[in-house]
A and B are shown apart, each in its own frame.
Chain A
């Protein structure tokens, strides 16, 4: 097993600075969920000079649209969605004080530059492991845009949520270093 760092939210700048690409993290605390449609609505709200549905300063957004919860479940399967679709919005959210994002997949240069400029971390959750991840979510409440169904904004509480630091606040990127290490072409 690789070493594990236990991390509690909120994700303040001292914690951001400590995290390095490749770190294996178990995350606990409050996290917010949002994906495509919620990001569009939030950025549009900012454009109209309105407040976001929650204060993003030192917070983490998890890119997820969970499956419906069965009776007795806190939340249905809840693995990460592809982060690249949020690239158009993430620099704006980071500019508002967001310090963490959890998703899967590649990010744009603009996002990575904003992360370096303002201090933010991109975590990867395991794509496809939605059933396992749901068991690490201990509370869930829709706080905005309920009309979006699976795309609504939720405040969730996670306990020992498994994540990997993919891109750190220095711009180091595990997708590049990991691939380079094993590439034989």
Chain B
């Protein structure tokens, strides 16, 4: 069985927390350039140009693209043939977040208690989703989540009779109601099926897919495309000032569900749709 030391995990998480906040993904930069080509509103184009300039400044000057450097959402895939040594995985992940947010001059946005609202001072605890997978590697993805977009997410426990049309209408309505709040052009994550928490998890996980990479099932990919077209006919546009690019992409994930239910969850990301991953290879024990 291979081993991975906690120090390596701490270091890796620190690095990706900073990287995800400083460096816009290549896929997203391409998405913004493409949006600039198809946006009809002159003001919308100016906004897109400024967002591209902002990403260049952040990258060159090593500063965060946005002051809301988010809650640290971590997706962790732990190979079942790897053994974490020297400490506890959860503690190491949080330590990496703590160090990354301090060293990277990232804003600390977590409050300890939702009612008392005192800042924890180090942006922990992280929101961690674990998955046990085959193999001997540890894959960690951080998706710093700003609250402007997170607050506009929604869940509907649809009836099966509402069907695909009802599910799609709920997605479009959610984006329409969100308007300018989630900093459009947005990326729309949709999760359908499972239980209520499974649907919301899938909606969030859909957002870490490469921008515009279609679902591998052509039937779902077609729904994604149709949703994107409908959303871009809403007119919200960049920053909500009116325009033809409200969303850069729609990513949908589906899961088997109960005979009596059809949960539909929508999780929105701002234009930066920040995420970065690291894969740690174990060493022989």
Query: For residues 197 through 212 of chain B, which have their beta carbon under 8 Å from a beta carbon of chain A?
Result: none
B105 neighbours in A (Cβ, 8 Å)? 67-70, 76
Q: Counting CB contacts under 8 A, is A119 at the interface?
A: no
Q: Tell me which residues across on chain A come within 8 A of B242, comparing CB atoms.
A: 174, 177-182
Q: How far is the CA of A67 from the CA of B237 in the complex (A)?
A: 27
Which of the residues A128, A149, A181 comes within 8 Å of B272, measured between beta carbons? A128
Q: Is the CB of A82 within 8 A of B151?
A: yes
Residue of A nearest to B42 (CB): A2
Bound-state CA distance A55–B224 (Å) is 51
State how many angstroms separate the Cβ of A150 from the closest Cβ of chain B: 5
Bound complex: CA A128 to CA B64 (Å): 10
Are B183 and A124 in contact, with the CB atoms below 8 A?
A: no
Q: Does A91 contact B (CB under 8 A)?
A: no
Q: A2-B42, A174-B241 are in contact. Are A183 and B235 (CB under 8 A)?
A: yes
Q: B267 contacts the other chain (Cβ, under 8 Å)?
A: no
Please determine whether B239 and A64 come into contact, CB atoms closer than 8 angstroms.
Answer: no
Query: Quick check: A128 and B107 within 8 Å, CB to CB?
Result: no
Q: Across the interface, do A131 and B69 meet the contact criterion of CB distance under 8 Å?
A: no
Write out, one digit per residue, whether chain B residues 59-74 have a CB within 8 A of any chain A CB (1) or not (0): 0011111111100000
Q: In the complex, which residues 121-148 of chain A have their Cβ closer than 8 Å to any Cβ of chain B?
A: 124, 126-132, 134-135
Select from chain B the residue with minimum beta-carbon distance to A185: B233
A126, B107: Cβ atoms under 8 Å? no
C-alpha gap A180/B183 in the complex (Å) = 18
B16 beta carbon closer than 8 Å to chain A: no
Q: Which residues of B contact A162 (CB under 8 A)?
A: 50
Instruction: List B contacts of A73 (CB < 8 A).
Output: 63
Q: Which residues of A contact B243 (CB under 8 A)?
A: 178, 182
B109 and A150 contacting across the interface, CB-CB below 8 Å = yes
Number of A residues near B (Cβ < 8 Å) is 49
Band of interface residues on B:
35 or more
Given A175-B240, A183-B234, are A66 and B47 neighbors across the interface (CB < 8 Å)?
Answer: no
Whether a CB of chain A sits under 8 angstroms from the CB of B51 is: yes
Mask for B264-277, Cβ within 8 A of A = 1, else 0? Answer: 00000011100000
Query: For B43, what are the chain A residues with a Cβ–Cβ distance below 8 Å?
Result: 2, 22, 24, 164, 178
Most chain A CB inside 10 Å of its own CB: which residue of B41, B55, B65: B65
Check if A18 is an interface residue, CB within 8 A of chain B.
no
User: Cβ of B107: which chain A residues have Cβ within 8 Å of it?
Assistant: 65-68, 76, 150
Selected from B51, B106, B179, B241, the residue in CB contact (under 8 A) with A67 is B106
Contact with B along A69-108 (1 / 0, CB 8 A): 1100100111101101000000000000000000011100
Query: A179 to B234, Cβ gap below 8 A?
Result: yes
Knowing A132-B57, A178-B237, the reply to whether A78 touches B148 (Cβ < 8 A) is no
Residue of chain A at shortest CB distance from B49: A1
Q: Which of A79, A106, A174, A179 contacts B66 (CB 8 A)?
A: A79
Check if B213 is an interface residue, CB within 8 A of chain A.
no
Question: Which B residues touch A181, using CB under 8 A?
Answer: 41, 235, 242
Residues of B contacting A66 in the complex (Cβ-Cβ under 8 angstroms): 67, 107
Give A contacts to B, CB under 8 Å.
Answer: 1-2, 22, 24, 37, 64-70, 73, 76-79, 81-82, 84, 104-106, 124, 126-132, 134-135, 149-150, 162, 164, 166, 174-175, 177-185
What are 27 A-to-B residue pairs whose CB atoms are below 8 Å? A67-B67, A68-B106, A70-B63, A77-B66, A78-B67, A79-B67, A84-B181, A104-B181, A105-B180, A105-B181, A124-B180, A128-B65, A128-B183, A130-B65, A131-B58, A131-B63, A131-B64, A131-B66, A132-B50, A175-B240, A179-B240, A181-B235, A182-B40, A182-B242, A184-B233, A185-B230, A185-B235
Minimum-distance CB pairs A-B, first 4: A178-B242, A183-B235, A127-B183, A182-B235
Residues of chain B touching chain A, judged by Cβ–Cβ distance below 8 Å, are: 40-43, 46-47, 50-51, 53-55, 57-58, 61-69, 105-109, 117, 119, 121, 147-148, 151, 179-181, 183, 230, 233-237, 239-244, 270-272
